[in-house]
């Protein structure tokens, strides 16, 4: 890449006559009412995704204006451009199916349009991963700006935040502890401002990961969406992008093996969303970086949970921001971090952390000496039920269920689950293990269905948690003793495909194992009789089905990942 800004003259349209292409482009740009002076400035693209189907991006127009202000103040020409928008709860079958589509949109539009740097504004769960994936592949200087989390609502004297409290109240409703009138009141009090979910769910986890990777400006991950400081962060991101345009620092210089390891450490210290493992794996994969399950577990075992936020703890993102945010956690983790990693403000992580810390609320961000938990929040499991791995959020699970063997109660797919889970005749007991099949990336675009509901007859009897296993994902705001992302998934013929009700399954968190206690020859016999589900024939669904990888590879498309050859063991 040239170190000189190319501005509007970059990447000219190909007519076989460069001067004509330049002349035509400038004449069309003039039709937007831009002066010649501005047309000669470095160009900063602003990737935006406001949508009437994305509540989390409601304030994006105001953020965009603030970024434009920053770009202009620093001597650049801001050019907002749209990409698709992924509003988590408005997409069918799942938002996960469209993350890679948005990543392709972001990558191609950054590459195709004449910009020297880009600020990407995202927030809702899949948008930040998609933007980071696209930026790493396009490899033009890029800054991630997040929309910021919601503020909490109030109900009967307690604070409510989407969506941990959504699930908590829905569980009470199913158990008959909350009536229809109250659940309707709560519905209007869970998500009361613009911004992303108010707890350490996937959106907040990815915001913190982006800051830790060095792709967002320091101190910006946790600022609430409605706080005036978020607009300041937007303006500063615009200014920083103009600096990057003249002193290029590319995403592949920022997203390195070392910064990815730092980000995994942050994920553990936050006890963040299990989804973030898939997303960070995909972002790293775009740079040809893979972190093995063994290294993930090593990082987890070395990194204490330091942040006391829902769904694992008690606080909300507004508390985290006031407590010191990502900077406070990074300072506690400092001895474990790679400090020479670059950030998009042009400094190393070491230089950032050498600055004074400011006040830290130790009720929210703990010290390493007095952590929320001495071990990281997430671990990778493997075993005969998940030969290529599975994920378990130990910090959100019930410790008495960590070493158990139980009888499988199997649901063949999401429809089967919906039809039978509340059947009073369902043969299920509190110490059984619930198993959901065919909800993996290929089978069902990996919905957040891993948080199987407790069968209502058990919920009404007071059962709060059971071991649940699937190839699905789980919302970052959910909790329970839940094994997720089982790979290979059922729809591609993993052992999960042939589990039957009545089989015995063993979970050992200490040994990081998940095993199907069925003799190998019986597993082989059942697999021989297994047939794959039909494939979609056209459109994006067919492309997705053909190309999506399994969870341990980040569910990226096989033709978009970086330069790690398939089948090569990661370092």
Q: Which stretches of the chain bind ligand FES, using CB under 6 A?
A: 56, 88-89, 124-125, 162, 196-197, 201, 203
Q: Which of 512, 143, 402, 100 is nearest to 278 (CA)?
A: 100
Q: C-beta of 201: minimal distance to ligand FES in Å?
A: 6
Q: Give the 3-state secondary structure of residue 434.
A: strand
Is the CB of 196 or the CB of 250 nearer to ligand FES?
Answer: 196
Q: Which of 56, 35, 384 is nearest to 195 (CA)?
A: 56
Q: C-beta of 548: minimal distance to ligand FES in Å?
A: 22
Q: C-beta of 360: minimal distance to ligand FES in Å?
A: 26
Is the CB of 194 or the CB of 518 nearer to ligand FES?
Answer: 194
Does the CA dihedral 339-342-348-349 come out positive or negative?
A: negative
DSSP letter, residue 359: -
Is the CB of 123 or the CB of 285 nearer to ligand FES?
Answer: 123
Q: Which positions ≥6 away from 221 have C-beta within 8 Å? A: 146, 204, 207, 208, 210, 211, 325, 326
Q: C-beta of 250: minimal distance to ligand FES in Å?
A: 28
The Cα 116–Cα 121 span in angstroms is 17
Q: C-beta of 280: minimal distance to ligand FES in Å?
A: 17
Is the CB of 125 or the CB of 345 nearer to ligand FES?
Answer: 125
Is the CB of 198 or the CB of 365 nearer to ligand FES?
Answer: 198
Instruction: Give burial (CB, 10 Å; 0-12/13-18/19+) of 530.
Output: exposed
Q: Which positions ≥6 away from 5 have C-beta within 8 Å? A: 42, 43, 116, 245, 246
Q: C-beta of 213: minimal distance to ligand FES in Å?
A: 19
Q: Give the 3-state secondary structure of residue 35.
A: coil
Cα–Cα distance list, 460 to 95, 166, 298, 424, 514 (Å):
32, 18, 40, 11, 29
Instruction: Give burial (CB, 10 Å; 0-12/13-18/19+) of 244.
Output: buried
Other C-beta atoms closer than 10 Å to the C-beta of 168 total 18
Q: C-beta of 558: minimal distance to ligand FES in Å?
A: 28
Q: Which of 394, 531, 412, 543 is nearest to 465 (CA)?
A: 394
Is the CB of 89 or the CB of 543 nearer to ligand FES?
Answer: 89
Is the CB of 197 or the CB of 244 nearer to ligand FES?
Answer: 197
Other C-beta atoms closer than 10 Å to the C-beta of 412 total 16
Is the CB of 162 or the CB of 380 nearer to ligand FES?
Answer: 162
Is the CB of 89 or the CB of 492 nearer to ligand FES?
Answer: 89
The Cα 291–Cα 284 span in angstroms is 8
Is the CB of 56 or the CB of 391 nearer to ligand FES?
Answer: 56
Q: C-beta of 228: minimal distance to ligand FES in Å?
A: 21
Q: C-beta of 567: minimal distance to ligand FES in Å?
A: 35
The Cα 483–Cα 475 span in angstroms is 13
Is the CB of 389 or the CB of 450 nearer to ligand FES?
Answer: 450
Tokens of 140: 């033009």
Other C-beta atoms closer than 10 Å to the C-beta of 21 total 16
DSSP-H helix ranges across 126-227: 127-138, 164-174, 180-187, 202-213
The Cα 191–Cα 553 span in angstroms is 33
Tokens of 63: 């953020």
Is the CB of 56 or the CB of 312 nearer to ligand FES?
Answer: 56
- Residue with token string 């089905």: 545
What does the longest C-alpha to C-alpha distance in the chain come to? 77
Q: C-beta of 321: minimal distance to ligand FES in Å?
A: 16
Tokens of 214: 């060095």
């Amino acid at each position: 890449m040239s170190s000189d800004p190319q501005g509007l003259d970059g990447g000219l349209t190909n007519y076989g006559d460069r001067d004509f292409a330049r002349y035509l482009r400038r004449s069309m740009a003039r039709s937007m009412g831009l002066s010649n002076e501005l047309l000669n400035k470095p160009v900063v693209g602003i990737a935006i995704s406001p949508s009437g189907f994305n509540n989390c991006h409601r304030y994006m127009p105001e953020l965009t204006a603030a970024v434009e202000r920053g770009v202009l103040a620093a001597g650049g020409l801001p050019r907002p451009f749209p990409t698709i928008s992924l509003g988590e709860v408005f997409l069918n079958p799942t938002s996960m199916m469209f993350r890679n589509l948005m990543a392709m949109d972001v990558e191609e539009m950054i590459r195709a349009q004449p910009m020297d740097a880009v600020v990407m504004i995202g927030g809702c769960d899949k948008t930040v991963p998609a933007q980071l994936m696209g930026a790493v592949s396009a490899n033009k200087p890029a800054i991630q700006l997040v929309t910021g989390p919601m503020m909490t609502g109030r109900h009967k004297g307690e604070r409510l935040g989407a969506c941990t409290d959504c699930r908590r109240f829905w569980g009470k409703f199913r158990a008959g502890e909350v009536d229809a009138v109250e659940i309707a009141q709560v519905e209007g009090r869970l998500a009361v401002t613009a911004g992303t979910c108010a707890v350490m769910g996937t959106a907040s986890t990815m915001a913190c990961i982006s800051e830790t990777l060095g792709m967002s400006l320091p101190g910006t991950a946790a600022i609430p969406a409605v706080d005036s400081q978020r607009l300041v962060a937007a303006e500063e991101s615009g200014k920083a992008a103009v600096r990057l345009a003249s002193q290029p620092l590319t995403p592949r210089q920022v997203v390195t093996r070392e910064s990815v390891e730092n980000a995994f450490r942050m994920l553990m210290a936050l006890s963040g969303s299990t989804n973030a493992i898939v997303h960070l794996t995909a972002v790293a994969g775009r740079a040809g970086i893979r972190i093995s399950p063994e290294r993930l577990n090593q990082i987890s075992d070395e990194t204490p949970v330091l942040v006391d936020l829902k769904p694992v703890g008690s606080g909300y993102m507004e508390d985290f921001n006031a407590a010191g945010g990502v900077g406070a956690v990074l300072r506690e983790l400092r001895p474990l971090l790679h400090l020479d990693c670059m950030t998009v403000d042009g400094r190393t992580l070491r230089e950032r952390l050498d600055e004074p810390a400011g006040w830290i609320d130790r009720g929210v961000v703990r010290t390493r000496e007095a952590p929320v938990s001495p071990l990281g929040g997430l671990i990778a499991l493997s075993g005969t039920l998940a030969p290529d791995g599975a994920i378990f959020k130990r910090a959100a699970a019930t410790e008495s269920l960590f070493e158990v063997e139980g009888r499988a109660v199997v649901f063949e797919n999401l429809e089967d689950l919906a039809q039978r889970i509340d059947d009073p005749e369902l043969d299920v007991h509190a110490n059984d293990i619930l198993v959901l099949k065919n909800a993996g990336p290929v089978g069902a675009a990996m919905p957040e269905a891993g948080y199987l509901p407790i069968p209502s007859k058990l919920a009404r009897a007071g059962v709060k948690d059971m071991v649940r296993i699937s190839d699905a994902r789980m919302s970052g705001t959910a909790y329970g003793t839940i094994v997720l992302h089982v790979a290979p998934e059922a729809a591609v013929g993993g052992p999960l495909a042939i589990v039957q009700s009545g089989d015995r399954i063993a979970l050992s968190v200490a040994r990081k194992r998940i095993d199907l206690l069925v003799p190998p020859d019986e597993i082989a016999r059942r697999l021989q009789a297994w047939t794959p589900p039909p494939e979609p024939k056209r459109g994006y669904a067919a492309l997705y089905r053909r190309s999506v990888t399994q969870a341990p590879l980040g569910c990226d498309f096989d033709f978009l990942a970086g330069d790690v050859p398939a089948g090569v063991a990661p370092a």
